Amino acid sequence: MSAPPAGPPHAFDSGLTIPDFAACLSMGLQPVGLVQGYYCGQIGSWSNYSYYPERNYPCACYEQAPHNSGWVGRLGDLDGAWMDAHATALSRMLKEASDLGAHGVVGVKTDMSHPTNENSAEVHLYGTAVVVTGAAAPRQPWSTQLAGHKLAKLIEIGFVPGSVAYSRCTAMMAEGCYMEYYGSGRCGTGYVINPLQDAHELARKGAIAQAKQILPDASLYDVQMEVQESERYHSTYITCSLLGSLVRRARSTSPVAKPVPTVSVGS
């Protein structure tokens, strides 16, 4: 009776689905283990007094100006604390991957929450560490949210993963600039006040700019954007969170052929 075939050198765990696992193997990426990184701590209290003014508006109620003037501010300290928490969890996950000798981490998932109250932050990152078959030992593992066919297609067209990216921007819109509160005729003709729209714009631009600072020459791919609004101290807070994968071009030409039309529409 012949002996059973030899098994793998060691067992490993993975967070990949069967199709994603198969796609990794077809690209020469060998999964070596599930890696994760945590951060849990306090982010400090914040209030209306911790904002950075970005845009100011003349008050529509002339008799109370300037005490009731409206403005849009940005809570940079609060956003910075969350981004530092994410960066800490990411570095801990990459440390686990490096200890396994991995070249990168694919299929990264991110969970963020307040475990106790609004002044606490918990960040959990986890993904599957992979080794590139035949490649030299890496200096620093890369990371990406992508896995499976999305990652395969990205590499096929000449891009390689760089890092997962998280950024956020919280804009605060104070009361005092609503024309409907004071009736018509109080603001100059043609003057339009859009503090809510401006808060959204500031939050989105700030989040994208912060993400690009991580890898200046990269493109942001597979973006997930979430916008939340809340009321506190008679003010509206708009938080724009952005999560994505930074990728960079490694090949100037694409092997993918240009599409050829097969149906002609029209006469």
88: closest CA among 25, 38, 147, 22? 38
- What three-state secondary structure class fits 123? strand
Is there a domain that residue 179 lies in?
A: yes
> Is 267 buried (19+), middle (13-18) or exposed (0-12) by CB count in 10 A?
exposed
Q: How many residues does the chain have?
A: 267
CA angle 179, 180, 186 (to 5 degrees): 45
Asked if residues 217 and 248 have their Cβ atoms less than 8 Å apart, the reply is yes
The first and second tokens of residue 223, run together, are 């973006």
Is there a domain that residue 84 lies in?
A: yes
From first to last of its 267 residues, the chain has per-residue pLDDT tens of 444 444 445 556 667 778 888 888 888 888 999 999 999 998 876 666 677 777 776 655 444 444 445 678 888 888 889 999 999 999 999 999 999 999 999 999 999 998 887 788 899 999 999 999 888 877 889 999 999 888 988 888 888 899 998 988 888 877 654 444 444 444 555 555 677 778 788 877 887 887 778 777 788 888 888 888 887 767 788 888 888 898 988 877 666 566 677 776 665
List the CATH number of the domain containing 109: 3.30.110.70
Is there a domain that residue 257 lies in?
A: no
169: closest CA among 244, 228, 232? 228
Q: How many domains does the chain have?
A: 1
> Is 116 buried (19+), middle (13-18) or exposed (0-12) by CB count in 10 A?
exposed
Query: Which residue range is the domain that position 194 belongs to?
Result: 18-249
Is there a domain that residue 174 lies in?
A: yes
pTM to 2 decimal places: 0.78
Is there a domain that residue 2 lies in?
A: no
Which residues have CB under 8 Å from 47's CB, separation 6+? 233
Q: How far apart are CA 261 and CA 156, in angstroms?
A: 22
SS (H, E, C) 44-100: CCCCHHHCEEEEEECCCCHHHCCCCCEEEEECHHHHHHHHHHHHHHHHHHHHHHHHC
For residue 61, the model assigns a pLDDT of 47
Q: How far apart are CA 237 and CA 265, in angstroms?
A: 49
Is there a domain that residue 140 lies in?
A: yes
Is there a domain that residue 163 lies in?
A: yes
Q: How far apart are CA 105 and CA 145, in angstroms?
A: 8
Is there a domain that residue 114 lies in?
A: yes
Cβ count near 138 (within 10 Å): 15
